[in-house]
Structure 1
Amino acid sequence: MKIALFAAITVAIATGGVGAATANSWLPLTHSEAGQSPTTSPSAVPTTPAAKPVTLAVAPKTGATFVNPAAEVTAQADNGTLYSAVLKETATGENTDGELFVSGRKWVSSAPLKFDTDYTFDVTTLDEDGNRSTTVSTFSTVPASNEADLAMFPAAGSTVGVAQPLQFTFSEPVTNKEAVEQAISVTASSGQKGAFRWYSDTLLRYRAEDFWVANTKLTVEMKLFGVELGNGQIGNFNKTNVVQIGNRVEMVADAANLQASIYVNGVLVKQYPVTMGDERFPSASGYLVVLSDKQRYAHFVASTIGLKPGDPANYGEVDVEFATRLTPSGEFIHQATDSAAPYLGRVNLSHGCIGMSAEGAGWVFNNMTTGDLVHVVGSPNETIAPTDGFGDWNIPFAQYAQR
């Protein structure tokens, strides 16, 4: 009977039935009672969640072309930090400086890029576990064919007269004119304000409402680097030029009375008899500005102003002295030829020029400079064209400032 009972208990345990739970009390000894250490079932080991992957955003995007050299190059990491960021010219390896911001998560270039250059941007990130990952991107900037320049007249450091407008000549046509005007600022020590006027897509000028005050300093800031001029053209420099205005030197050339009066800062200093344009070629009227072209000895050719052999007005070729240019079209102040000298103060017989004695033309040549004012009165001719030299002052300021 005892053997049968033990067998029944063994079967019950083996089958896992209800009898297994109650049969435990019938087992001879537990492990602890036998002096053995209890056996524990293994427990799950806690695991640290994997760090989120770093998300990296770079600008410009890799493969970008026609990148504006004024654009910032940036790299920004989320779920991590930037270990390093190296921006360099692909061909030369020259680095471009930059700075870290936002607790080491954002890098921004701090120096301008170059035109027509390929760049490599090498960025290494760290995730929260300290794992590094490197991304390399490449891009190229605006090509040389889209690099726009300008020339300013008068040049930096010049001293000019009170009638000299500022002139900006662009290497490429400008369609985004408002942006260009905003990029150029002119500060006059006299406090005078002025306005821009476009004569073409490549020619811009600036003048005050009235002539510059004598001895004014003009500071011209041109912040054109990266400015989009239109049609994909990008400005290529920032520069500050300073131009000095000298004394107010003005000649009033009276074609009716055949006399030139010269004033310095409002004081009459010289008067000379003159001969000016005759009835066929009257001198241009209005305000003219002395140009930078001066020739101690000049050679004039009649064909350059459209005169042909057989024309009664054709003078062929003549040599003159003390020639000071007023217009690109050919008006000068100069010493009258020997044949015209007897008629100074008596008859107008030139082809538009202001003929003077050797003394008078010499004084102008030696004492009047670029930007000084010549006011022609008493001539039946129309006012000088604004772009035939600098006839800007003949346009009322309210009209001049209109876009």
Structure 2
Amino acid sequence: MQMDTFSPADGSTVGVAMPVSIVFSKAVATSARAAVEQQLKVTTSVPVTGAWHWFSGTRVDWRPQNFWPSGTKVNVDADLTGVSDGNGRVGTRTYHHGFTIGADTETKVSVPDHTMQVYRDGALVKTMPIDAGSSTFPTWGGTMAVLDKQPEVRMTSCSVGITCDKNNSNFYDLTLPWDVHLTDTGTYVHYSTGDPNPGRGEGSHGCIHLSMSNAEWFYNYVQPGDPVTVTGTSRAKADPQNGYADFNLTWAQWTAGSALQH
């Protein structure tokens, strides 16, 4: 039994909505998940109530009941040596990750108001005009933790399943700057050349558009794990597995996904 990915990275500093997320290279059988979960230890510098949640045989996340307290030191130890995955494989090593919860930076997007507000430690820092998704391609709702960010990303309508037909009015193939990544399905906060002055536009294909200066500011201000909460969209809350949208589950729904609860 081996891990494919283990997030956050050892030694990193992340935002208050960042879960611990473990992806195994091969599936853990349902019958073995409780024994595996018992070997996954999370310790924190301040008391935090949290639990593991199995999304599948290959992915299990740990999140606190509420957002992390800023400044918390977190250690995750996974002693899987000799532990069976229930499918004929046995763990051969121990994993350790330590990370720190950084500043409490929370972003709130109101689709109907075309605004995005950024808060630090509960105080409003900046309000910016935005355009979110259109009625045809609405932005995901709920809370999504920042996955990563890149100074430039090539975005194509084909890669996200909108259209590969260059003659279609929804076709696009653009390389755009200041990209803050929110979902695995391709939601970003960024600047778009097709919407250079957002605030009352007709809407995007699901991304959140900022002006060039605001996009650069936001890119430099946020870090992975910072929560971005979208309200007023016609689309449902993002699936918790679509990136790190773990806080879109209630606490009761979350704890029901622990193998030790049954």
Residue number in structure 2 paired with 1:346: 200
One-letter amino acid matched to 2:237: T
Residue number in structure 2 paired with 1:153: 7
Residue number in structure 2 paired with 1:380: 234
Listed one character per residue, the Cα deviations across residues 323-367 of structure 1 (whole Å, up to 9, x for unaligned) are: 111111111011131x4123x111242111110011211112111
Q: Is 1:320 aligned to residue 176 of structure 2?
A: yes
Q: Is 1:167 aligned to residue 24 of structure 2?
A: no
One-letter amino acid matched to 1:361: A
Distance 2:147 2:41 in 1: 24
Distance 1:386 1:285 in 2: 11
Distance 1:313 1:242 in 2: 44
Residue number in structure 2 paired with 1:299: 154
Residue number in structure 1 paired with 2:78: 222
Aligned length: 252
Q: Is 1:233 aligned to residue 86 of structure 2?
A: no
One-letter amino acid matched to 1:288: M
Residue number in structure 2 paired with 1:41: none
Q: CA RMSD in A?
A: 1.3
Distance 1:348 1:384 in 2: 22
Aligned to 1:341, what secondary structure does the other structure show? Answer: coil
Listed one character per residue, the Cα deviations across residues 97-131 of structure 1 (whole Å, up to 9, x for unaligned) are: xxxxxxxxxxxxxxxxxxxxxxxxxxxxxxxxxxx
Q: Is 1:364 aligned to residue 221 of structure 2?
A: no
Residue number in structure 2 paired with 1:329: 185
Distance 1:154 1:236 in 2: 22
In structure 1, runs of 5+ residues without a counterpart are 1-147
Distance 2:202 2:33 in 1: 44
Contact kept? 1:258, 1:348, Cα under 8 Å: no
Bigger relative contact order, structure 1 or 2 (CA pairs below 8 A, ≥6 apart): 2
The equivalences for 1:2-401 within 5 A come to 148-150=1-3, 151-175=5-29, 176-292=32-148, 294-306=149-161, 307-309=163-165, 310-314=167-171, 316-337=172-193, 339-342=194-197, 344-401=198-255
Which 4+ runs in 1 deviate beyond 3 A? Answer: none
Listed one character per residue, the Cα deviations across residues 163-194 of structure 1 (whole Å, up to 9, x for unaligned) are: 00101111222120001110011112220121
One-letter amino acid matched to 2:150: Q
Distance 2:10 2:217 in 1: 27
In structure 2, runs of 5+ residues without a counterpart are 258-262
One-letter amino acid matched to 1:352: G
One-letter amino acid matched to 1:296: P
Q: 1:295–1:239: structure 2 CA closer, same or farther, 3 Å change rule?
A: closer
Larger of the two Rg values belongs to structure? 1
Shift of 1:213: 0.8
Shift of 1:300: 1.3
Shift of 1:277: 0.3
Shift of 1:296: 1.3
TM-score by length of 2: 0.92
One-letter amino acid matched to 1:350: S
Distance 1:335 1:397 in 2: 35
Distance 1:303 1:240 in 2: 39
Shift of 1:289: 1.0
Distance 2:202 2:240 in 1: 25
One-letter amino acid matched to 2:59: L
Shift of 1:312: 2.9
One-letter amino acid matched to 1:311: N
Distance 1:332 1:240 in 2: 31
Distance 2:27 2:186 in 1: 28
TM-score by length of 1: 0.61
Shift of 1:152: 1.3
Distance 1:264 1:153 in 2: 24
Shift of 1:308: 3.4
Contact kept? 1:284, 1:379, Cα under 8 Å: yes
